[in-house]
Each structure stands twice: as C-alpha cells, then as structure tokens.
Amino acid sequence: MPSDKEQPRFVLVRPQMGENIGAAARAMWNFGLDRMVLVAPRDGWPNPRAVAMASGAGRLLDEAVLAQDLPEAVGEDHFVMATTARVRGMTKPVFSPEEAMQEAARRIGAGARVSVLFGPERAGLENDDVARANAIISVPVNPEFPSLNLAQCVLLCGYEWRRAVTEVAPRRTDMGGTEWASQIEIEKLAEHYESRLEEATYFFPPEKAPGMRTNLRNLWSRMPLTRADVQMLHGVLRQMVRWKERG
C-alpha cells in the first residue's frame, strides 16, 4: 500500500519506454513520493523493463494505478498541473517547478487532491492534455535544446516537492462548509455548458470550434471551483434554458 504521507500523485501520460517508467519510479522514491499513475502506457503493463530499471523502487510499480485515459486518471483530483517546456499561449497560471511544488504543498495541506502530469517522451503532453490542467509547470530549459527526459523531469519536481514540504508551512483555507470540486465534477460542468452552447450554435464557424472548445476548457480549469460553485453554475444554465424555452 502507498504510504499515508500527504503528497501529490505523479501521472505519467502515455509513457513509451518501460525503462523511463522505472527510472521515474526510482526518482520519485528518492524524494519520498510513492503515488504513481500510468495513463495508457504504450507497451502495456506490467513491463519487465520498468521493473529492472526501478531497482529498489519496484514497490511503486506494483502499486501504480493504471488508467485508460487522462479524464479517468484525474477525475477525483481538485488541482492538476501539467509539466511542459512550452507555455503554448494558454491562459493559465504558470509556475516554475519550485513554485509549483510549494503551491501543491499548500493545497494538499488544505485538504485538496493534487496531481502533476508528465507527457510522453517523444513530444510531451498534447494541447488537449494541458487544457485539462489548472496550471502549467514550465521548466526553464535551454531553448536550443528543450528536450527533457521523462525521469529527469520527475526527478526535478520530486526534488522541489521535498524542499517544499520541509520549508513551506501549509496554508489553510476556510471552505465555508463545502469542498473543492473534483476534476470529474468540473468535467461534467464543462460538458453541460458545451452541449447547451452547441444547441445555441455558439461554436461557429466550424473550423474555429475546436479552438473555442479548448478556450472554454481553459476557462473552467483556471477557476478554483468548489462543489457549491459547480452546483450553482449548473443551476444558472438550467434556469436560463428554462427561461428561453418559456419564450
């Protein structure tokens, strides 16, 4: 069983090589992290090459959570950060690894469930992956050689996490009797608005629709929504539709 220490989950999205998964597990365990999630690993799971590379961190692989896709992997999370070497022009908070892990420590200390996304080795996270995140972790790499090995990126964030929990006191938040909304709750809210906007022919012209949907997803992911907020926004939209149908 994973330890009972409060910590973020490290989510490897579509990892390609077993060796890199094993090296990532070893890097996590170096800094006391033991909650790994694997999203659709290319070569299937379990992978003997990952076990060989993990060395003394094989327990993390035995206990790793396997998810078919990213929505399944982060559905119960309250705050998700995506690692990338490129900010990509998305309107989200952008943290350095140090700032990101300090933010994770504060949120986890306030009771939130936090995950960090790491993309596949070849090209990193896709725009749709980043759009589901609440914030971006931008690694300040050499612009002439921005490629960063998966395990190296995990190691960097793991190191900053270790520093954060030993140097940063958690900041408590008064939740007013409610809880932070989970990613699956925000996903359902986004689907509700997208379906109604589709009926209202908002996504026009067709060639701009994908970008408009991404912008809308970015809007939801930037907002620190509670469960009460989500319920209210569902209610607002339902009431607007009822009002329109009454003419």
**Structural domains in the chain, sorted by start:** 9-167 (3.40.1280.10), 183-245 (no CATH)
178-229: pLDDT as tens digits: 888 999 999 999 999 999 999 999 999 999 999 999 999 889 988 889 999 9
The pLDDT of residue 143 is 81
pLDDT for 171 beyond 60: no
* 44 Cβ contact partners less than 8 Å away, ≥ 6 residues apart: none
For the chain, give the secondary structure using H, E and C: CCCCCCCCEEEEECCCCHHHHHHHHHHHHHCCCCCEEEECCCCCCCCHHHHHHHHHHHHHHHCCEEECCHHHHHCCCCEEEEEECCCCCCCCCEECHHHHHHHHHHHHHCCCCEEEEECCCCCCCCHHHHHCCCEEEECCCCCCCCCCCHHHHHHHHHHHHHHHHHHCCCCCCCCCCCCECCHHHHHHHHHHHHHHHHHCCCCCCHHHHHHHHHHHHHHHHHCCCEHHHHHHHHHHHHHHHHHHHCC
Report, as an integer, the average pLDDT of 81-99: 87
Tokens 């090589």 -> residue: 17
pLDDT for 78 beyond 90: yes
pLDDT for 244 beyond 80: no
| Range name among 4-13, 55-64, 172-181 with the lowest pLDDT average | 172-181
CA distance 119 to 85: 11
129-141: pLDDT as tens digits: 999 999 999 988 8
- Closest residue by Cα to residue 81 from 60, 96, 67: 96
